[in-house]
Structure 1
Amino acid sequence: MSSVRPKKHLGQHFLKDLNIAKSIADGLTGHGGYNKVVEIGPGTGVLTQFLLQNKQETSVIEIDRESVAYLKQHYPQLDGRIIEGDFLKLNMEERFPGKFGVVGNFPYNISSQIFFKVLDLKQQVPEVVCMIQKEVADRLISPPGNKAYGILSVFLQAYYELEYLFTVPPNVFNPPPKVNSAVIRLKRNEREALDCDEVLFRRVVKAGFQMRRKTLRNALKPINLPEELSGEKVLDQRAETLSVDQYVELTNLISSCQK
């Protein structure tokens, strides 16, 4: 097999620029001391070839059967480490016990779902280097007080330090997407767990941003705010103005009144 046809229904945009592929691979620092790397959606292995030069053992997860056949033919050194399947559905704890880094050119249409799964694996994944839609990258790294700041910004920033590495233009892909892409790096911070009820924390953040134009006093009505909190000034703010620590404090306030 000499080539693979990009498939629209899988959101495939194959990277052609080798320099960019190398820069993505070089973006992995080994933060957290992992010795295995999992690449999501390798396609034809443009990034994979550089990952194989790194000291960490590389495995790849690919849902496209045609791409899997291509990888097996062109990268025999990956023997036994090509997983045909959907990253979102795989039991990663079982397949990769211990710590591992995550890297890849994430399909635009499922990038948010991938990040939510990374959050579920946060104790195992100390570092992520990925290429995603630039607009999404800007949103994830946005600080509080910015209109781009959102639900996933809060959730990821609770457990990771996020860094914008570089912008990638459309013309280096086949087929070229209609938007710019960006490469970002996530490094696990030292927070083992949030100092609050994490289930309630997620409910509070989601409810706040679902009606982000309203004050938290109104946006959080669906979670039945305790009457005792009616005088809290934080409820006069909007969801996008609160930092992770402020959301933790608000969650604890709500939790203490519900007991």
Structure 2
Amino acid sequence: MAGVKPKKQLGQHFLKDQNIAEDIVKGLFDVTEAKQVLEVGPGTGVLSDLMVDKPEIKELVLMDLDEESIDYLKRRYVGKNAKILHADFLKCDFKAFFGDEPISVIGNFPYNISSQIFFKVLENRNQVNYVVGMIQKEVAERIASKEGNKTYGILSVLLQAYYDIEYLFTVPPHVFNPPPKVNSGVIRLVRNDVTHLGCDEALFKRVVKEGFQKRRKTLRNALKGLNLPESMQEMDVLNKRAEQLSVADFVELTKLIEG
């Protein structure tokens, strides 16, 4: 496709449906004017084409690890408003690339690193205000899932603490080259107003991770490694499993452990 071959080792599946590409870009621009946009894994530019001439975008940054894709995009967008970077998003120093400007992130994310991409977003939550990404449907559903669901997990809680998350739509395999073996899902993250959770955020993260790593156990057993205060031992919350707690419940639980 377009002189760029999809590479299995990079998890590339190039979108070839123009209508779906338009819906993904619309998913971002429906909620923000997006002055500074970073596209992760632009591939053949199916999303980039729809953004490169948008007058509201002050800077469009296209970041890819695939040298063939980078070379192709540089030829394609000569004289256009696009900064094309051969770089690894997971190692990206946001301040070095973007200063203090807020960023919107968009992309058909490589499936093999999609969770890592969202952890990177989380690390840079004070700069990344919006994300619209297409990933494996199962992962998209997990991120958007609410408490009480089997798909609810670590990434759900950590991201929902700082972002309002919406599952936008499902994308079938046949619209990609090559077709993946699974359906894809497009989700949108919008940064909420939370600047601090009101608890030790490192401990919060640990509580969430340990709770879900032993998700079949009650929190009383799953969190044994945290040496819970004696005063907590009879609390009803410890009889629950991690998937039953909302983000707010995890925050309150962390406060109780802090003492």
Q: If the length of structure 2 is used for normalisation, what is the TM-score? A: 0.95
Q: Is the 8 A contact 2:52 2:82 kept in 1?
A: no
In 1, Cα distance between equivalents of 2:22 and 2:78? 20
1:250 to 246, 250, 253: 253
* Equivalent residue number for residue 158 of structure 1: 161
* Equivalent residue number for residue 10 of structure 2: 10
In 2, Cα distance between equivalents of 1:158 and 1:31? 19
In 1, Cα distance between equivalents of 2:81 and 2:10? 24
**Larger deviation, residues 225-234 vs 129-138:** 225-234
Q: How many angstroms does 1:123 deviate by?
A: 0.9
2:230 to 209, 227, 232: 227
Q: How many angstroms does 1:2 deviate by?
A: 4.9
CA 1:246–1:32 in structure 2 vs 1: closer, same or farther (change >3 Å)? Answer: farther
In 1, Cα distance between equivalents of 2:12 and 2:231? 51
Q: Establish whether residue 131 from structure 1 lines up as the match of residue 127 from structure 2.
A: no
1:41-190 aligned at under 5 Å gives the runs 41-54=41-54, 55-56=56-57, 57-78=59-80, 81-97=83-99, 98-190=101-193
* Structure 1 SS opposite 2:128: coil
CA 1:102–1:201 in structure 2 vs 1: closer, same or farther (change >3 Å)? Answer: same
Q: How many angstroms does 1:29 deviate by?
A: 3.1
Structure 1 runs, 4 residues or longer, greater than 4 Å off: 30-34
Q: How many angstroms does 1:77 deviate by?
A: 3.7
Letter in 2 for 1:110: I
RMSD between aligned residues:
1.5
CA 1:105–1:149 in structure 2 vs 1: closer, same or farther (change >3 Å)? Answer: same
In 2, Cα distance between equivalents of 1:231 and 1:2? 63
* Structure 1 SS opposite 2:131: strand
2:207 to 204, 207, 226: 204
In 2, Cα distance between equivalents of 1:193 and 1:170? 39
Q: Deviations over 1:184-229 (max 9, x none)?
A: 1110111111110000000000000000000000000112212221
In 2, Cα distance between equivalents of 1:214 and 1:107? 33
CA 1:2–1:111 in structure 2 vs 1: closer, same or farther (change >3 Å)? Answer: closer
* Fraction of identical pairs, as percent: 59
CA 1:52–1:142 in structure 2 vs 1: closer, same or farther (change >3 Å)? Answer: same
Q: How many angstroms does 1:34 deviate by?
A: 4.4
* Structure 2 SS opposite 1:69: helix
In 1, Cα distance between equivalents of 2:11 and 2:29? 28
In 2, Cα distance between equivalents of 1:212 and 1:162? 23
**Larger deviation, residues 208-217 vs 69-78:** 69-78
Q: Is the 8 A contact 1:62 1:83 kept in 2?
A: yes
Q: Deviations over 1:16-59 (max 9, x none)?
A: 01111111111113756641000000001011000223321311
* Structure 2 SS opposite 1:88: helix
Consecutive unaligned residues in structure 2, runs of 5 or more: none
**Larger deviation, residues 75-84 vs 101-110:** 75-84
Q: If the length of structure 1 is used for normalisation, what is the TM-score? A: 0.95
Q: Deviations over 1:233-252 (max 9, x none)?
A: 10000000000111000000
In 1, Cα distance between equivalents of 2:93 and 2:30? 23
Letter in 1 for 2:61: S
Letter in 2 for 1:126: N
In 2, Cα distance between equivalents of 1:173 and 1:147? 29
